[in-house]
């Protein structure tokens, strides 16, 4: 099936020590629907320039980033996932424990909500919340 051009609105919120850091992004992306999964890809700019790829299949969302900071997380509610986060300064061990993994996919639009506790090299770094809405172009 052909990829559909979409407009992506992403809000990322990181809560650490009671402080909230919010990043918002509006960009173009692509949505591809296969027999088993839906894949959303979009480019990020700025300090963390690179491509983000979100695969949704069943009760699992896979979040991958390539570019300045690269990572691969498998998010299934209640299941801890351990991986590596590659930076310009080297690799860090990361672990994510999702408390919310939800998505609603329509033919022309959809939304994804992810919330997970994140730790790096064994140290808790806070809660990450990711809200993504997309609309067909």
Give residue-wise pLDDT tens across range 22-36: 999 999 999 999 989
Spatial separation of the C-alpha atoms in residues 77 and 13, rounded to whole Å: 18
**Phi, psi dihedral angles at 46 (to 5 degrees):** 85, -145
Cβ atoms of residues 6 and 127 within 8 Å: no
Domains of the chain: 4-136 (2.40.128.20)
pLDDT at position 1: 65
Long-range CB contact pairs, 68-76, < 8 A, 24+? 73/116, 75/101, 75/114, 75/116, 76/101
Using pLDDT thresholds of 50, 70 and 90, give the confidence band for residue 54: very high
| Of 22, 2, 4, residue with least CA distance to 105 | 4
Spatial separation of the C-alpha atoms in residues 77 and 20, rounded to whole Å: 23
Residue 46 has pLDDT above 80, yes or no: no
């Amino acid at each position: 099936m052909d990829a559909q051009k979409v407009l992506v609105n992403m809000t990322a919120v990181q809560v650490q020590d009671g402080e909230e850091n919010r990043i918002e992004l509006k960009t173009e992306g692509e949505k591809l629907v296969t027999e088993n999964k839906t894949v959303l890809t979009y480019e990020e700019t700025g300090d963390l320039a690179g491509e983000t790829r979100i695969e949704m299949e069943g009760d699992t969302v896979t979040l991958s980033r390539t570019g300045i900071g690269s990572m691969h997380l498998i998010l299934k509610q209640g299941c801890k996932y351990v991986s590596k986060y590659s930076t310009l300064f080297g690799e860090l061990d990361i672990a994510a424990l999702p408390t919310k993994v939800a998505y609603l996919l329509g033919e022309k639009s959809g939304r994804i909500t992810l919330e997970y506790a994140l730790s790096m090299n064994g140290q808790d770094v806070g809660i990450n919340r990711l809200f993504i809405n997309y609309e067909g172009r």
